[in-house]
Amino acid sequence: MNNIINSPKGYDLLHNPFLNRGTAFTLRERTSNGIEGLLPPIVDTLELQIARIHLQLDSLDNDLQKYLVLSDLQTRNEVLFYAVIMADPATFMPLVYTPTVGEACQKFDHYFRAARGLYIPITAKGRIKEIMSNWPHQDIRFIVVTDGERILGLGDLGVNGMGIPVGKLALYTGVAGVPPHLTLPIMLDVGTNNKKYLQDPLYLGLHELRVRGTDYDEFIDEFVQAVQSLYPKCCIQWEDFANINAVPILERYREKICTYNDDIQGTAAMALAGISASLRITGQKLTEQRFLFMGAGSAGTGIAELISQAMVLEGLTIEEAQGRCWLFDVNGLLEKSRTDIASFQLAFTHTHTPCTSFVEAITSIKPTAILGVSGVPKLFNQQVIETMAKINFRPIIFPLSNPTSQSECTAEEAYRWSNGAVIFASGSPFAPVEINGNQFVPSQGNNVYIFPAMGMAVLVTEASLITQAMFIIAAQAVAEQVTQKQLDSGVIYPPQSQILETSLLTATKIATYIFDQGFARAQRPANIEQHIRSIAYQPKYLTLC
């Protein structure tokens, strides 16, 4: 039954995105709330409103235009926005997030229409709590925050990167049922080193070079303290920070507050889920695998770290597990003779002769899987794919860089150059591929399988911390939901059309672990899954007085 609530009246009601029903206001509600005559006389159902949005979107042939239509809808009628998304998540996730959000961020300042979330510039240092107090909701459970320095594989987009926190939190709700009023997207504006934006009068961020060092660290610390003070049950998700900040920030706070970095930990769990499902196809054990990463940043090391910890659970020592993970960057294979190794890369820097050719590294190391987290397109060329196929009967190849334009290879290239032998997953979606009469359906290894479910688990448990083990649980839960029929067709992630069900089951597994391990601050319900389903957001209009 819908709750009956007091609401603003008249014109203000029609401009409140949380309460606005648009043409679905009943005649009685129009009379009692002073909006009679402000709308066409016919009363729509929610289903008719969804159909009208579909009609509008179908008339457009550009995904960015569709993104903007949906963005406008979110700012004026939140229930209808989520009703559209949740009715057909496989269609709309690529429009509200990757890959379309990449182009939307690049053009954010030129297409800006309405503010959403909070913008906190470093010039407001010392007043962060005051600024955050302007947000209208008092019980915030999830903040996705970025400083815009490493947006997807597109680099420093400054405040234009705000599309990422907005999109991520839309997916918290759309694919896992986290109530939207509990979420808050935040942009920390510390400047930008993007010369194009600094010279653009339409750029909406600080026209200053990025702040580094002590001032930056103090700014971040003040932000964290403000969140803890205003929203003590809030989880902070760090998003698209450059490696030089992402790794230290996570290490500084991960054992003190409820927080995680999706680029590091969410990506790792997503990759581990795909690998676990892939091994159901090959019939091999995780501890028998060797992994080579194209890209040695926080995403690559994050995946390697989680894989290593999962191997430890299957019997290896941590040193043995780390020895099965290798990194390759712009300067070649990470090996002991190099002098440019960062501290977070050391565990995966092994003894080996210097090597600057990725194909040579494959030939020498003989990996069973290669994973692309470089942000650079086309690095998995024909020679790379053919070499992997020569070494492995079923090579595992994951070009995970986003958006589609930055993918290390396309699905068609991977299938064609491996003669269909590849087990494939990419960060952005690719269409089915037909080779010699055989159709291959590419899997999308999207973090959407992990972070919304983690959010729902944290919501129901009020977890005090988020640990690496929770991400292993999440990965295992996702992999377990892939059916044998799907595996037989080469698909290694659950269908996105069923993403809400996947997320709720994954959240149940994570929440059970959180309660079992004593990380919960909430009272344990008698039936965790049932409780999660009972609090999951449903896009239904509230009844107004």
User: Quick one: 92 exposed, middle or buried, by C-beta within 10 A (0-12, 13-18, 19+)?
Assistant: buried
- pLDDT score at 5: 56
Number of domains into which the chain is organized: 4
Question: How far apart are the C-alpha atoms of 83 and 104, rounded to whole Å?
Answer: 22
Instruction: Please indicate, yes or no, if residue 522 is contained in any of the structural domains.
Output: yes
Q: State which H helix or E strand residue 186 sits in.
A: strand 183-189
Instruction: State pTM to two decimals.
Output: 0.94
Same domain, 86 and 106: no
The b/e string for 208-224 (b: 16+ C-beta within 10 A; e otherwise) is: bebbeeeebeebbebbb
- pLDDT score at 544: 78
Question: How far apart are the C-alpha atoms of 395 and 89, rounded to whole Å?
Answer: 30
- Catalytic residue (one of 168, 197, 231, 260): 168
- pLDDT score at 256: 97
In one-letter notation, the amino acid at residue 463 is: A
Quickly tell me which residue has 């815009």 as its tokens: 148
Instruction: Please indicate, yes or no, if residue 137 is contained in any of the structural domains.
Output: yes
Same domain, 221 and 284: no
Sign of CA dihedral 120, 124, 128, 134: negative
Give yes or no for a contact between 186 and 120, defined as CB atoms under 8 angstroms apart.
Answer: yes
Same domain, 381 and 336: yes
Q: In what order do the strands lie in the sheet with 235-238?
A: 118-121, 183-189, 142-146, 235-238, 259-261
Same domain, 78 and 116: no
Cα end-to-end span (Å), the chain: 15
Q: What are the residue ranges of helices labelled H in 133-266? A: 163-176, 195-198, 213-230, 243-253
- Catalytic residue (one of 67, 97, 493, 537): 97
Instruction: Please indicate, yes or no, if residue 33 is contained in any of the structural domains.
Output: yes
- pLDDT score at 1: 36
* Residue at a domain's end among 76, 97, 118: 97
Same domain, 301 and 442: yes
- pLDDT score at 3: 52
Instruction: Please indicate, yes or no, if residue 232 is contained in any of the structural domains.
Output: yes
Question: How far apart are the C-alpha atoms of 169 and 156, rounded to whole Å?
Answer: 21
Distance set, CA 256 to CA 46, 186, 251, 260, 461 (Å) = 44, 21, 10, 11, 17
For the question of residue 129 being annotated catalytic, the response is no
* Residue at a domain's end among 447, 480, 502: 447
Same domain, 306 and 433: yes
Same domain, 229 and 275: no
Question: How far apart are the C-alpha atoms of 289 and 325, rounded to whole Å?
Answer: 9
Among candidate residues 227, 243, 189, the one with its CA nearest the CA of residue 211: 189
Pairing of strands 543-544, 4-5: parallel
Question: How far apart are the C-alpha atoms of 282 and 484, rounded to whole Å?
Answer: 13
Instruction: Please indicate, yes or no, if residue 488 is contained in any of the structural domains.
Output: yes
* Residue at a domain's end among 97, 115, 148: 97
In one-letter notation, the amino acid at residue 441 is: V
Same domain, 227 and 292: no
Phi, psi values for residue 326, rounded to 5°? -125, 145
Q: Based on C-alpha coordinates, what's the Rg of the chain?
A: 24
- pLDDT score at 6: 64
Instruction: Please indicate, yes or no, if residue 166 is contained in any of the structural domains.
Output: yes
CATH number of the domain that residue 158 is part of: 3.40.50.10380
Same domain, 337 and 427: yes
Phi, psi values for residue 91, rounded to 5°? -80, -40
- pLDDT score at 542: 85
- pLDDT score at 545: 63
Instruction: Please indicate, yes or no, if residue 539 is contained in any of the structural domains.
Output: no
For the question of residue 195 being annotated catalytic, the response is no
Instruction: Please indicate, yes or no, if residue 456 is contained in any of the structural domains.
Output: no
Question: How far apart are the C-alpha atoms of 411 and 419, rounded to whole Å?
Answer: 12
Question: How far apart are the C-alpha atoms of 342 and 331, rounded to whole Å?
Answer: 13
Give the domain range for residue 206. 100-257
Spatial neighbors of 268 by CB under 8 A, at least 6 apart, are: 299, 302, 303, 305, 306, 307, 471
Query: Which segments within 307-404 are labelled E, that is strand?
Result: 325-329, 332-333, 369-372, 396-399
Same domain, 299 and 441: yes
Q: State which H helix or E strand residue 261 sits in.
A: strand 259-261
Same domain, 235 and 347: no
Quickly tell me which residue has 């970025």 as its tokens: 146
Q: What is the largest CA-CA distance in the chain?
A: 79
Q: What tokens were used for 498?
A: 């069923």
Region of residue 534 (left: phi > 0; alpha: psi -120 to 50; beta: else):
alpha
Give, for all 545 residues of the chain, the pLDDT tens digit.
345 556 799 999 999 999 999 999 999 999 999 999 999 999 999 999 999 999 999 999 999 999 999 999 999 999 999 999 999 999 999 999 988 999 999 999 999 988 899 999 999 999 999 999 999 999 999 999 999 999 988 999 999 999 999 999 999 999 999 999 999 999 999 999 999 999 999 999 999 999 999 999 999 999 999 999 999 999 999 999 999 999 999 999 999 999 999 999 999 999 999 999 999 999 999 999 999 999 999 999 999 999 999 999 999 999 999 999 999 999 999 999 999 999 999 999 999 999 999 999 999 999 999 999 999 999 999 999 999 999 999 999 999 998 889 999 999 999 999 999 999 999 988 999 999 889 999 999 999 999 999 999 999 999 999 999 999 999 999 999 999 999 999 999 999 999 999 999 999 999 999 999 999 999 999 999 999 999 999 999 988 76
Same domain, 298 and 168: no
CATH number of the domain that residue 318 is part of: 3.40.50.720
Among candidate residues 499, 464, 401, the one with its CA nearest the CA of residue 170: 499
